[in-house]
Structure 1
């Protein structure tokens, strides 16, 4: 687990940091939080669902089947997909709430260096954040703004009675019993279709409908998980895949840029 350290101009002015190389840090992460702004990029690659955190529903992309392993991460750290969820791309930085409820930029202690000859600088000679760190901060702030909108949409879906437990069973083939995935929730299509016009309009007015329909449409992507599970089994058996990784799953979108709209 990351140990987050709040960045300080006085304490870390001369420190450097190790930039993220790949996504090995997420190798045991079975889900990733998602944002409304990225739904159109997520849909071609992920099955989406909800998990429950402190009585709140959090929309997520499903990354694994056994509650532990991330099937989208290659053993060498590459991302096995054409788009990386925005919530993973800011690492080794994140935003956290300080005691005064102000958000501060933090870094995983494992990436913080006192050696000025290695890594990249955190701050410039003028005492301001280095350009790449500032770019990451801007990206994280954009994500945070949309995260609040996303949470409001998920809360409205839950309050409207549209989210139900998802008894997900994933077929594994080869005579194996289906794998049961616990702790997930989905949109009840029956409840959504039964909404009164006024309630439906309220969901539309608060931007919750795209999240609801995206979750329903995304369930056709469950084969993405089974395909990647088969790929990892090949690797474990030391059998080279018949095609390069990129042709199987696409390259990864690794940029700290995203069109979050107005």
Structure 2
């Protein structure tokens, strides 16, 4: 199960304890306002790449996982409007699944502090006979799809690691000459190494969809300027991309 970021009081959903619980969907995503990135699944690379960079990071075990970079700030992002709704860009499934999640054993859990829940306003999660409502079944279907894609994505990143395809990609945003902002611990697929994969590996990746994911990820790097503009960086600002692969190559993206 992907990490329970955003969840303040997670609990297992129980048909006896929560038989009167109701759920009301909302477009308020203000619970994300303090983060600058969220995990992403591979199947999302295509849509996300139009609006935000798709990069990779590492967990405490040293394994890689993809993420959608929501901003070039150390904390927070500018994807929300004043009402907390998402501003006309792709909303990652990791965000949309909240306030529900699945455990590794397939048990539904939810954030008890989430405002979407009550006992008198919204759609019932259970029928009077204790069976799942259509609302809950739809939630479970979404959660199962998300977790299946999450597991497939971890297989993809594990193979990227095994093939040594990922290289460090550190960002430096010059908000002005005296206040550089650095984002480190990010990685990208090395396009040269990707092009040198053996023919049988390329065929395997093509069938799995991983080759398409890789190029969608590389295409997404062009969305860096969109983040710069969304943050209203001064006209003199620039983004410096440092690829820490021993070559010290730098690229600049103008505003």
TM-score bracket, normalised by the shorter chain, equals 0.7 to 0.9
| TM-score, normalization by structure 2 | 0.79
2:35 corresponds to which of 29, 38, 42: 29
1:45 corresponds to which of 47, 51, 56: 51
In structure 2, the partner of 1:63 is 70
CA RMSD across the alignment: 2.4
Q: Which deviates further from its counterpart, 11-20 or 41-50?
A: 11-20
In structure 2, the partner of 1:248 is none
Q: SS of 1:74's equivalent?
A: coil
Corresponding position: 1:109 with 2:112 = yes
Change (3 A) 1:179 1:121: same
In structure 1, the partner of 2:190 is 188
In structure 2, the partner of 1:216 is 218
Q: SS of 1:140's equivalent?
A: helix
Change (3 A) 1:74 1:113: closer
Q: Is the 8 A contact 1:20 1:91 kept in 2?
A: no
Per-residue deviation at 1:47? 0.7
Q: Please, which runs of 5 or more residues in structure 1 have no aligned partner? A: 232-262
In structure 2, the partner of 1:170 is 173
In structure 2, the partner of 1:14 is 20
**Matched positions, count:** 226
Q: SS of 1:164's equivalent?
A: strand
- Deviations, residues 13-49 of structure 1 (Å, cap 9, x unaligned): 1223453442111111211222222222112111110
Corresponding position: 1:143 with 2:149 = no
- Deviations, residues 72-100 of structure 1 (Å, cap 9, x unaligned): 12242110233211221121111123xxx
| Structure in which a larger fraction of residues adopt helix | 1
In structure 2, the partner of 1:255 is none
Q: Is the 8 A contact 1:153 1:207 kept in 2?
A: no
Q: Please, which runs of 5 or more residues in structure 2 have no aligned partner? A: 1-5, 234-255
Q: How does 1:64-103 map to 2 (within 5 A)?
A: 64-97=71-104, 102-103=105-106
Q: Which deviates further from its counterpart, 114-123 or 69-78?
A: 114-123
CA distance in 2, matches of 1:156, 1:68: 30
Q: Is the 8 A contact 1:20 1:92 kept in 2?
A: no
| Structure in which a larger fraction of residues adopt strand | 2
Change (3 A) 1:137 1:67: farther
Per-residue deviation at 1:223? 1.2
CA distance in 2, matches of 1:188, 1:114: 45
| TM-score, normalization by structure 1 | 0.77
2:125 corresponds to which of 106, 122, 126: 122
